[in-house]
Chain A
Amino acid sequence: MTAILQALASGLALGAIYGLIALGFNITYATTKTFNFGQGAFLVPGSLVGVSLLLLAAGKPHWGNLAPSEMTLLSYGLATLASVAIVGAIGIVLYYCAIKPFVGAGGLNWVLSTIGFGIILQNAALAVWGPASIAVPSPLGNEVWRIAGAGIRPQEVLIAAVAISVMVGLDIVIRKTRFGKALRAVAFNPQAAAIVGINVEKIVIIAFVISSSLAGLAGMLIAPITTASVFIGLGVALKAFSAAIVGGLTNPRGCMLGGFLLGLIEALVGLWRAEMREITIFLLIIIVLVLRPGGLLGARSVEKI
């Protein structure tokens, strides 16, 4: 029972990470029918930039291990904001280099260009930080919390709290604000959006900034669990991509739901037999897609890519 509770907490945190990244896929897919296939690489600067800022603030070189005493919740929060801003700005570069030349032209050139951009980003990070992973403490401490007998890692609670707040916030922005309505108008029909006076390209760029920022945030949130390194992003982004497809790439709530589903299944199956985790997840994905080609909450069937 306590093991199940523990797994639920881990699954919720992991699912929140997948949901954040999946939401990023949704936002750019809705507006441009493209997304960043190299999104995994965006988690890398997300964690490493933030951790390096904390190291530099502690008077150390930009790589090396970070001691718990060298971080507070406030400094971690500020470093996270800086990371998110920097990765968001990289999203603008991504748009101009890897999306704009190919969007609307049909074809799959954007798939390769975004993968390529991610590889370049990852290798640039390798040049700056090297291959070693950096241990990152949780700003809430590494001591597990005893809740109803179960040992729960404080970083998991932090991840779930931050990620869920961001998701709820974005959901409200998309549904209620002037920006959100313009975003949905562009998603519905870019030409119709343009003739009411919406600067479609500006909305699209903001969508890529949001999508990239979400990946950056995910990188910084997950670092205390996985450590920070050049290699953390790929597996996480692949799961997030699966989450988006399972939940429905065209529906933001579907993407978040898909994230939580995958995270929880992964953690609960892992409890039973670790080696069955990936098998179960990808079998379930195939079953869902056969039954509902557009994903659980997707309205239409998703374009073949």
Chain B
Amino acid sequence: MSMLRIEDLCVRYGAIEALKGISLHVAQGEIVTLIGGNGAGKSTLMRAIAGLVKPASGTIAFEGRPIAGIRPHHCVRLGIGHSPEGRLVFGDQSVRDNLMLGAYARDDTDAIAADIDKYFAVFPRLTERQDQQAGTLSGGEQQMLAIARALMSRPKLLLLDEPSLGLAPLIVREVFAVIRRLREQGVTILLVEQMANLALAVADRAYVIETGRITLEGTGAELLRDERVRSAYLGA
């Protein structure tokens, strides 16, 4: 059974049809990536899964349960973690408090403290800055914090929206190293990326999305070799 199964999903913003019938699925333990140009509808799809936008039609099933249209704080409790585009860390609160807030839906205090230590070990730079306001962190550090904050809810499915956005190449490589490490730990990931070559290399499967529709799908390796993908997204 798929962990996430989306059928014929349509989302509109007023008159704009951002998603025009998207179908896709993500199996337990997979990394699935979604590539596509600006405005293709990638973030809208992530936001619909996280409950931030209500679909006009279509279904979203998470572990077999329909979740389209339910509110975001319920999605978190079902096991969906979201590291949004633009990171959106709580800039006026400390790094540690951002992580605490990431665990807002949990009430196992001891395990929360243990998880904070765990992610401080994964992201040593956050440890040094734990009492600093998140807004004073560098872009790369904020991205690490956004990912760690999403993981603090102990999600079954992690939505990563453009984790490399605006980061220096060296930092991008660090982010992808973290993604590989998460995969080894069995976290299921839906990854949206502009850096298509890196994303396809790390992904089990991939979808190409153009103006609200899926136009191609295959394994990461297949799409890396695909002529259309190479010319449109890999600059080859």
Bound-complex Cα distance A124 to B159 (A): 51
The digit string for A170-202, where 1 denotes a CB below 8 A from any CB of B, is 000000001001101100110111111111100
Interface size on A, residues (CB 8 A): 17
- With both chains docked as a complex, state the minimum distance between the C-beta of A301 and any C-beta of chain B, in angstroms: 17
Q: Which residues of B contact A194 (CB under 8 A)?
A: 51-52, 71-73
Which of B84, B92, B102 touches A184 (beta carbons < 8 Å)?
A: B92
Taking the complex as formed, is B4 at the interface, i.e. its CB lies under 8 A from any CB of chain A? no
List CB contacts (< 8 Å) of B42-73 with chain A: 50-52, 71-73
Is B77 touching A191 in the complex (CB atoms < 8 A)?
no
Is A197 touching B77 in the complex (CB atoms < 8 A)?
yes
Q: Which residues of A contact B50 (CB under 8 A)?
A: 195
Q: Which residues of A contact B52 (CB under 8 A)?
A: 191, 194-195
Is B93 touching A198 in the complex (CB atoms < 8 A)?
no
Which of A178, A188, A192, A200 touches B73 (beta carbons < 8 Å)?
A: A200
Bound-complex Cα distance A197 to B107 (A): 12
Q: Which residues of A contact B150 (CB under 8 A)?
A: 195
Q: Which residues of B contact A189 (CB under 8 A)?
A: 88, 90
Which of A178, A191, A199 touches B88 (beta carbons < 8 Å)?
A: A191
Bound-complex Cα distance A199 to B100 (A): 16
Q: In chain B, what residue has the closest Cβ to A201?
A: B71
Taking the complex as formed, is B13 at the interface, i.e. its CB lies under 8 A from any CB of chain A? no
Is B93 touching A181 in the complex (CB atoms < 8 A)?
yes
List CB contacts (< 8 Å) of A3-35 with chain B: none
Q: In chain B, what residue has the closest Cβ to A188?
A: B90
Q: Which residues of A contact B88 (CB under 8 A)?
A: 189, 191-192, 195
Q: Which residues of A contact B91 (CB under 8 A)?
A: 188
Bound-complex Cα distance A185 to B97 (A): 10
List CB contacts (< 8 Å) of B101-115 with chain A: 101-102, 104-105
List CB contacts (< 8 Å) of B128-184 with chain A: 149-150, 152-153
Q: Which residues of B contact A198 (CB under 8 A)?
A: 73, 101, 104
Is B97 touching A181 in the complex (CB atoms < 8 A)?
yes
- With both chains docked as a complex, state the minimum distance between the C-beta of B109 and any C-beta of chain A, in angstroms: 10
Q: In chain B, what residue has the closest Cβ to A197?
A: B105
Is A191 touching B84 in the complex (CB atoms < 8 A)?
yes
Is B149 touching A196 in the complex (CB atoms < 8 A)?
yes
Taking the complex as formed, is B205 at the interface, i.e. its CB lies under 8 A from any CB of chain A? no
Bound-complex Cα distance A195 to B88 (A): 10
- With both chains docked as a complex, state the minimum distance between the C-beta of A20 and any C-beta of chain B, in angstroms: 23
- With both chains docked as a complex, state the minimum distance between the C-beta of B159 and any C-beta of chain A, in angstroms: 9
Is B73 touching A184 in the complex (CB atoms < 8 A)?
no
Bound-complex Cα distance A197 to B76 (A): 5
Is B102 touching A196 in the complex (CB atoms < 8 A)?
yes
Q: Which residues of A contact B105 (CB under 8 A)?
A: 196-197
Bound-complex Cα distance A193 to B50 (A): 12
Bound-complex Cα distance A189 to B51 (A): 16
Taking the complex as formed, is B213 at the interface, i.e. its CB lies under 8 A from any CB of chain A? no
Is A196 touching B104 in the complex (CB atoms < 8 A)?
yes
Bound-complex Cα distance A200 to B50 (A): 14
Bound-complex Cα distance A194 to B70 (A): 12
Q: In chain A, what residue has the closest Cβ to B52?
A: A191
Bound-complex Cα distance A33 to B104 (A): 24
Q: Which residues of B contact A195 (CB under 8 A)?
A: 50, 52, 72, 76, 82, 84, 88, 150
Q: Which residues of B contact A188 (CB under 8 A)?
A: 90-93
- With both chains docked as a complex, state the minimum distance between the C-beta of B86 and any C-beta of chain A, in angstroms: 9
Is B104 touching A182 in the complex (CB atoms < 8 A)?
yes
Q: Which residues of A contact B71 (CB under 8 A)?
A: 194, 199
Bound-complex Cα distance A145 to B88 (A): 54
Q: In chain B, what residue has the closest Cβ to A189?
A: B88
- The CB with the most chain A CB atoms within 10 A, among B51, B82, B104, is that of B104
Bound-complex Cα distance A247 to B50 (A): 38
Bound-complex Cα distance A196 to B72 (A): 8
A185-B93 contact given A196-B101, A197-B104, A200-B73, CB 8 Å threshold: yes
Q: Can you offer 8 A-B residue contacts whose CB atoms are under 8 A?
A: A184-B90, A184-B93, A188-B92, A192-B89, A194-B51, A195-B82, A197-B105, A198-B104
> 9 extra interchain contacts, Cβ-Cβ under 8 A, other than A181-B93, A195-B50?
A181-B97, A184-B90, A184-B92, A191-B52, A192-B90, A193-B101, A194-B71, A195-B72, A196-B104
Q: Which 8 interchain pairs have the tightest Cβ spacing?
A: A197-B105, A197-B76, A194-B72, A192-B88, A195-B82, A197-B104, A199-B73, A197-B73
